[in-house]
Structure 1
Amino acid sequence: MERIELDEAMLQGQAEIWRYLYSFADSMALKSAVELRIADIIHSNGGPATLSQIASCINDSFTSPNITALARIMRLLVRKKIFTIHPPSDGGDPLYDLTHSSRWLLYDSEQTLVPMVLMENHPWQMAPWHYFSQCVREGGIAFKKAHGCETWDLASRNPDFNKLFNDGLACTSKFITSAILSGYKQGFNSIGSLVDVGGGTGGLISEIVKVYPHIKGVNFDLPHVVSTAPAYNGVSHIGGDMFHAIPNTDAIIMKWILHDWTDEECIKILRNCKKAIPRENGKVIIVEIILKEDGSGVFDDIGFVMDLVMFAHTNGKERTEAEWKKILEGGGFSHYKIINIPALVSIIEAYPDAQ
């Protein structure tokens, strides 16, 4: 009996390794569905669609879509519950429909993860993952080993990568911004001016100012980033370097910025934040993942995956509350509180220490 149980456990272990070994197939199938706009085709159909209907909308003037290949991709995505399938009432071809998951794959939706799917699965972003073991053996940054430069350098010299990167970040900004505005309603009331440090193309600060028009908004990022930012009412774009100086303001917000950097670099950024805000009533609003090693929340597993994304693409990391506390104290912000919002991230509201 013991031998049978051992064999079953070993068999289960083997199956687990097979599953992890080929887990990239899930993301590649997902990417192909996005590139083919399958979710949009079903959505535009006004209801469930057959494979033939989906294929007929995959426009290519030179070739006809391979329905067999499409069926194989959809079979996996149905099993993963990205799409659903059910037989029609008249006994015809099976019908494919959207799920709550595939609704995040609609191109023109306000709540879409399409640019992130395309960015994270692009060869530029996948290449650094192959250097993890080398980084363990000899140190260094995976992205630099793969491309000969760091993420920000490649973005500054390669407009295509810069657009891919900015589009990916901008799409997440939309729904995380919505979560911030719903979960931090009282936090912006007393702010006269707000600088979004590392604000990209200005999506977050523009939405905050739209809801709180009394706030003077500043979108602060590297010059090559703000040069592509659109104009927004109540928002000015300023190019600069957060490691050198940050514009003076009542408060600072940083969304998914500090996780890109080492503890020492984060402390330097926070010290520059402290110089830019008033000693009394000044604050820094940090929007980041807080790792919970025993967490069972809907996003808790994703936090640990995101930590390896940081390992692949930057020199930063995701942090536990204890790790956040350490860098906040190093940057001159011993007092803070955590505000949970309906998102992958939380808000850390930090207040400067008295001089």
Structure 2
Amino acid sequence: MVGTIDLDEEMLQGQADIWRFIYAFADSMALKSVVELRIANIIHSHGGAVTLSQIASCINNGGSRTPPDINCLSRIMRLLVRRKVFAVQHPSDGGEPLYDLTHSSKWILHDSKLTLAPQIMAQTHPWLMAPWHCFSRCVKEGGVAFKKAHGSEIWDFASEKPEFNGLFNNAMACTAKIASSAIVMGYKEGLSRIGSLVNVGGGTGGLISEIVKANPHIKGINSDLPHVVSTVPEYPGVCHIGDDMFHGIPNGDAIIIKVL
């Protein structure tokens, strides 16, 4: 006779939690796929809820004669509906389900001023996923996970790989746009009293440019590594300086540092 294992409610809940942790990555990968396929933009362009068939017909298949796989798309959308990234309506007449945007999916619209799409593409890229696989090595050996995964520090890696540099800078720039409006509104009085502001590690200069735009009396200084500022656009009232903040930063009345 095969023995049975008695599991109490707490043990069963523990097992369920572990399964949830194991497959937690699926949410990120599903989100990445709909950003790559521009599904939020497809729904937005229709001005309202659309069927899977309508979404599939608008997916850029790169000239391939093979149509998008509706079944695969359905499974991805079902997961993201459950996560409240998209909404679904089931017509009373039994017609095809209709998918619509939610407050969450509005944050993954490409080309929107407030979008997290570049951040999603960066954080789910193999370059930035690889260091997460090195945590146990960091515990055993010490050191930085990114360097263990790629053989160099992140800033050196970015200086050697323009594609990674662009991916990382775009991710930082999209969060800067989100932060800038809050900073401009929340620190009006403080900003009115300074003549120059240094954004240390300012990336492509989006944050400092928005602050200067709202406060034209401020001289904006965008400070970052030379390989970063070498590719940034020019902004009125902002100068870019290539340097290393660990060796010194430009002079100014105040500094601002945005971590993410």
- Asked if TM exceeds 0.5, the reply is yes
Q: Once the 2 structures are TM-superposed, how far is the Cα of residue 88 of structure 1 from its aligned partner?
A: 2.5
Of all paired residues, the percent bearing the same amino acid is 69
Distance 1:199 1:71 in 2: 40
Residue 11 of structure 2 corresponds to: 10
Q: Name 1:194's counterpart in structure 2.
A: 197
Q: Per-residue deviation at 1:159? A: 0.2
Give 2:48's aligned residue: 47
Alignment map for 1:143-292 (pairs within 5 Å):
143-256=146-259
Pairwise CA distance, 1:90: 4.0
Q: Does 1:131 align with 2:134?
A: yes
CA separation in 2, counterparts of 1:45 and 1:117?
A: 24
Structure 1 residue 89: deviation in Å?
4.7
Quote the residue 1:109 is aligned against: 112
Which consecutive residues of structure 1, in runs of 5 or more, have no partner in the other structure? 258-355
Q: Among residues 121, 124, 135, which one is paired with 1:121 in the alignment?
A: 124
TM-score by length of 2: 0.95
Separation of aligned partners in 1, 2:190 and 2:91 = 51
Ranges of 4+ aligned residues in structure 1 off by more than 4 Å: none
- What is the CA deviation profile of residues 9-31 of structure 1, one whole-angstrom value per residue up to 9, with x for unaligned ones? 11111001000111000100010
Q: How many residues align?
A: 253
Question: Unpaired runs of 5+ in structure 2?
Answer: 1-5
Q: What's the TM-score, normalizing by structure 1?
A: 0.70
Deviations 1:285-304 (A, max 9, x none): xxxxxxxxxxxxxxxxxxxx
* Match in the other structure for 1:23: 24
User: 2:256 aligns to what SS in structure 1?
Assistant: strand
C-alpha distance after superposition, 1:217-273 (max 9, x if no partner):
11111111111110110111111111222222111111118xxxxxxxxxxxxxxxx
Counterpart code for 1:179: A
The answer as to 2:55 corresponding to 1:58 is no
One-letter code aligned to 1:7: D
Aligned to 1:33: 34
Amino acid at match of 1:35: E
**CA–CA separation in structure 1 for the residues paired with 2:251 and 2:178:** 28
Q: Distance in 2 between matches of 1:211 and 1:93?
A: 48
Cα deviation, 1:155-212, whole Å, max 9, x if unaligned, reads 0010000000000000010011111112222120110111111111100110010000
Opposite residue 54 of structure 2, the aligned amino acid is: Q
SS in structure 1 of the partner of residue 257 of structure 2? strand
> Cα distance, 1:91 vs. partner?
3.0
Range that drifts further, 186-195 or 46-55 = 186-195
**Matched position secondary structure for 2:67:** coil
For residues 130-163 of structure 1, what are the alpha-carbon distances to aligned partners after superposition, in whole Å with 9 as ceiling and x for unaligned?
A: 1101101110111001000010001001000000
User: In 2, Cα distance between the equivalents of 1:95 and 1:239?
Assistant: 50
Distance 1:119 1:181 in 2: 27
Change (3 A) 1:46 1:89: farther
RMSD: 1.3
Contact 2:37 2:60 in 1 (8 A): no
